[in-house]
Amino acid sequence: MDAYKVLLGEILIQRKKITRSQLEEALKTQRQQGGFIGETLVKLGFVEEREVVAALVIQCGLPYIAVNKYAIDPQVTQLIPKEVACKERVIALDRIGDILSVVMVNPLNEEKKNYLEALTKCRIAAFISSSTAIQEAIVRHYGGLQ
């Protein structure tokens, strides 16, 4: 897939946010513990979450939404059940006709988008945001994480 021509770690190195040795250590940790490389880099304290999100925007070519500054209609939020929003780290933002705008940690995950389309009966327009911002929006709009 073209979106992944430049790997996330390489983007962070090019932007001088991490070193090659930090990336190698994070990749080793990721192989042992699983998860996304960006999350691993943040857990290890090598980079801040906002830098990972900026690199993902560059990598994916998808727009970033500051979900904490977005006014979300509660009826739109309810299109995705709380359990799904918490588990999948997604939140619905807006609906126009049969197109549902959704903020996701990984908007290139086609399997997740297909699942949300089947669940909501809408086509999904995916946007990217940080995991922290999405979790905060879930707490604000659903009343807490599960």
Q: Convert the pLDDT of each residue in 60-94 to its tens digit.
A: 888 888 888 888 888 999 999 999 999 999 999 99
The mean predicted confidence, pLDDT, of the chain is: 90
**What class, spelled out in words, does domain 67-142 have in CATH?**
alpha beta
| CA–CA gap between residue 108 and residue 45 (Å, rounded) | 25
Specify the pTM: 0.78
Domain ranges for the chain: 2-60, 67-142
